[in-house]
Amino acid sequence: MHENKEENIIVSLPGEFIHRIEQDLNKITSSIPDILSSHYEFLKDEWNYSNAFEFLVGMMVGNCQFSYIQAFDQIYEKMPTGDQTEEIHNMISRRKVDFEQGVSAFLEENNIK
């Protein structure tokens, strides 16, 4: 008897959800300089980080991670599986250059190094 091995089934993200995230990533990454402008003075004073670039990239990534996992839970009324969570993280990290360029553009515009 041949059994399907459950662990081999790949449960990927629904296409409509992938599309939604891609659209949001386009919007977020192109808005990074505006998003940061409204908070930067406050963030700088409060966090006093040694490396603004890494902190701000990490912060924007963290906002997206939670946002998309939360969105999945709301739309499908369940949390994403481990594989789906990794796929969400992958979609965000494929935009690494866009996140980094957005933060760099903000820092350059404001003469922050």
Verify binding: residue 35, its own copies, rule CB under 8 A: no
For its own copies, the closer of residues 19 and 96 by Cβ is 96
Return the number of other C-beta atoms located less than 10 Å from residue 6's C-beta: 6
Q: By rule CB under 8 A, what string of x and - marks binding of each residue 47-76 to its own copies? A: x-xxx--xxxxxxxxxxxxxx--x------
Verify binding: residue 42, its own copies, rule CB under 8 A: yes
3-class state of residue 14 by DSSP: coil
**Tokens linked to 19:** 């599309």
Tokens 């966090």, located at residue:
47
Positions in the binding site for its own copies (CB under 8 A): 39, 42-43, 46-47, 49-51, 54-67, 70, 86, 89-90, 93, 96
